[in-house]
Amino acid sequence: MAKIVLVLYDDPVDGYPKSYARDDIPNITKYPDGQTAPTPSAIDFTPGELLGSVSGELGLRKYLESNGHTLVVTSDKDGANSKLDQELHDAEIVISQPFWPAYMTAERIAKAPKLKAIITAGIGSDHTDLQAAMDRGITVAEVTYCNSNSVAEHVVMQMLSLVRNYIPSYNWVTKGGWNIADCVARSYDIEGMHVGTVAAGRIGLRVLRLLKPFDVNLHYLDRHRLPESVEKELNLTHHTSLESLAKACDIVTLNCPLHPETEHMINDETLKFFKRGTYLVNTARGKLCDRDAIVRALESGKLAGYAGDVWFPQPAPQDHPWRTMPHHGMTPHISGTSLSAQARYAAGTREILEAYFSGKPIRDEYLVVQGGKLAGVGAHSYSAGNATGGSEEAAKFKKVN
């Protein structure tokens, strides 16, 4: 029987919820491109519950233990003596979420001689050294599309929050003020602006569709060009370089995977392409951006605002400069872990486990690495190599309860 190590974020400060704001959530069975939502044989949770924290256990304990497997659940993942490191020696499967990633570096993989699978409960497997996984023949899988629309909604929310100067205006209210001039001194309309996405996959395309009713001018950069019918439907302008996209746009959103080719694609040199006063939204991966270059661009006015919910490493150390830089709208990594999304990625994780244990093929759209090479969605979205370098900095994070 297998030992599964499940790494999840901590429970709420006030304890695991005893009730919820809503009684139910919509039942999503199919995504816009026709892909079906996760289809495990059963689930042992109520959709709409908090599943992504330690006590939620992704609803997996009953299923795994009833089949004779051992489940270890922890939030302690960073540092040489973490619970994760203590359990690696005989772990067969490691599962974590992008929001609280178990950084599976080559060093950690070497400590896990029995490791056969690394699963992302969500989208994005850049917290795994994919080359090391290929070299060891370890299967890497993620629950593709489970929270793509959730992230796209977050992108649009953060764009509007930056452009309309929402967060500072809200803060004036909480402080008892009525400072209209202070609020509107940095507030604009999004209507008529030029908005571009770097990558127009599931998330990027959804963002474009959500923005169309705002009467903005839409642009995209992607090596895989969208069908002509989609370009006409959304009146899209296609770009073949970041320079071309950045020079044309007032708002840029990053929606591409992180791998060695995209690491630090936004840096001091590429920021020179951007208009003064551009807004940048990044809900993809923090390491797409050079951390300090973003701070400098906000301080100089090159960027009018930066928002997103992805950092590097995660959790971000308390002295991470993105916490205190000007004109930001950062959140912890929450865009893809709404209660609605959790129901889908928990079900998808179970679907992957059911296939794994029964010896049946894992859905091609869930596979990142299999048989020593990139596979499925991985062959389309990733490149061989490693983007986990520097993740040890996460050990600097101090929990605040």
Binding-site residues for substrate, please?
123, 147
Residues making up the binding site for NAD(+): 148, 202-203, 222, 257-261, 283, 309, 333-336, 381
Pairing of strands 117-120, 139-142: parallel
333 counts as catalytic? yes
Instruction: Please give the span between the terminal C-alpha atoms of the chain, in angstroms, as a whole number.
Output: 37
Burial class of 379 by CB neighbour count within 10 A (0 to 12, 13 to 18, 19+): middle
How far is C-alpha 384 from the chain's CA centre?
A: 20
Say which of 97, 149, 282, 314 is annotated catalytic: 314
Two structure tokens written together for 188: 């604009």
**Mapped to the 3 state alphabet, what secondary structure does 2-36 carry?**
CEEEEECECCCCCCCCCCCCCCCCCCCCECCCCCE
147 counts as catalytic? yes
Say which of 154, 239, 285, 328 is annotated catalytic: 285
Residues contacting 386, CB < 8 A, separation 6+: 105, 106, 129, 130, 131, 132, 260
Two structure tokens written together for 42: 């059963």
Q: Which helix (H) or strand (E) is 374 found in, with range? A: strand 373-374
Provide the 8-state DSSP code for 257: -
Residues making up the binding site: 123, 147-148, 202-203, 222, 257-261, 283, 309, 333-336, 381
Say which of 108, 333, 344, 350 is annotated catalytic: 333
Angstrom distance (rounded) from CA 132 to CA 113: 13
Helix residue ranges, H only, 175-290: 180-184, 202-211, 228-234, 242-248
Angstrom distance (rounded) from CA 373 to CA 351: 22
Provide the 8-state DSSP code for 89: G
318 counts as catalytic? no
Say which of 69, 97, 147, 219 is annotated catalytic: 147
Angstrom distance (rounded) from CA 389 to CA 259: 11
Length of the chain: 401
Residues annotated as part of the active site: 147, 285, 314, 333
